[in-house]
Amino acid sequence: MGKSVVVITYSMSVVERTIEKDLQERGFEVTRMADDPEAVKRAIDTTDVFIVYLPEEVFTEKDAARRLLLVSSELKSAQKNLIVIADEGNMDGFLKAVPNIKSFPYVTRPVEMAKLLKEIEKEIKNSDHLKTLKRILVVDDDPLYATTVCEWLKKDYRMTMVTDGMQAVSFLENNRVDLVLLDYCMPGLDGSEVFEILKNRAETESIPVIFLTGAGNRENFSKIISLGPQGYVLKSTNRDGLLKILKDYLGE
C-alpha cells in the first residue's frame, strides 16, 4: 500500500491535477480535500503528507484565510507539517493573512516535481517517526498552557491538544492515546466529569489519566486522588519535572 497524500484544493487546477496524477503514478494514494478544518482533523491519523496549493484569493478572502488558519493550526497541533505550494511573489501576502504557515515548508510555482518529492520524503520520514512515539492528549482550557506542554514534550511524544472536556471525549471516541493529561478544573465539562465519562465507556476505560492542577492544597489533592487516576501534576511543574514523571510512568 502506498503512502497517503491529501491535497487541500481550492479549484483543482490543471497543475493540481498534474501533480495528483504524477504522485499516483509514483505509488502514492492521493485524496482531494476542501479546506475544511474538521475534515482535515479526521484525516490526520491516516495521512502521511498534507499539501496545499494556494491561489491568490486565499489572502484576499477573509473566510478562506480563516479556514486555512484553522487547518494549519490543527496540523501543527498534531505535529504534522503542511507542504505549501505558492507563487514566491505572493508569500508575503499569505504570511500576513495566515501567519502560522511561516513554520511550514513551501515549494514555489512553477512546481518542480523533484523539489516537491524531496519535501514529501521528509514529511514521510517525520510521519513514520511519529508513529513510533507514544501518544499523549493534553486537555486544558488554557490554550497557552496546553501549547506550552505540547512544545515541551513533542520531541519525545506524539502530542495532541484540545481545549475543553467535550472535545476530549469526542476525540477519544475515534483516536487511541497512551495517556491523557487532563486539567482538573475547567468550565463546562470539568476534569472529574471527563474522567468519569472515560471510565464508564468500554472503548476508553483503560486509557490512563494524569490530572493537571493549579491548586496545591491538601483538599484538592484528596479530591483528585479519590477519583482513582494514575496521578496528578502541578501546573507549576517545569519541563524537566513533567518529562521525568511521564518517562517514569510510561517506562521510557
The pLDDT assigned to 21 comes to: 93
Min mean pLDDT across 8-17, 66-75, 146-155, 241-250 is at: 8-17
Number of helices (H) and strands (E) in the chain: give both, helices first.
Answer: 10, 10
**Domain 133-250 CATH class label:** alpha beta
Give 91's pLDDT tier (boundaries 50, 70, 90): confident
Mean pLDDT of the chain, nearest integer: 89
Can you give the residue ranges of every domain in the chain? Answer: 4-131, 133-250
Looking at the DSSP bridge assignments, the partners of residue 82 are 50
d(CA 204, CA 198): 5
Mean pLDDT of 184-193: 91
| Residue whose grid cell is 501576502 | 93
- The CATH number assigned to the domain with range 4-131 reads 3.40.50.2300
Asked whether the predicted pLDDT for residue 1 surpasses 60, the reply is no
Asked whether the predicted pLDDT for residue 18 surpasses 60, the reply is yes
Mean pLDDT of 15-19: 89
Give 131's pLDDT tier (boundaries 50, 70, 90): confident
Asked whether the predicted pLDDT for residue 244 surpasses 80, the reply is yes
Q: Identify which of 127, 98, 86, 92 has the alpha carbon closest to the alpha carbon of residue 37.
A: 98
Q: Identify which of 153, 162, 113 has the alpha carbon closest to the alpha carbon of residue 249.
A: 153
- Within 8 A by CB and 6+ apart from 153, the residues are 136, 159, 242, 243, 246
Three-state secondary-structure class, residue 85: strand
| Per-residue model confidence as pLDDT tens digits over 39-87 | 998 888 889 999 998 887 777 788 888 898 999 888 887 888 899 998 8
Question: Quick one: what percent of the chain has pLDDT higher than 90?
Answer: 46
Query: Which H or E run includes 29?
Result: strand 29-33
Angle between helices 165-174 and 191-199 (to 10 degrees): 20
- Structural contact between residues 110 and 88, judged by C-beta atoms closer than 8 angstroms: no
Are 4-131 and 133-250 equal in CATH topology?
A: yes
Does pTM top 0.75 for this prediction?
Answer: no
The pLDDT assigned to 103 comes to: 85
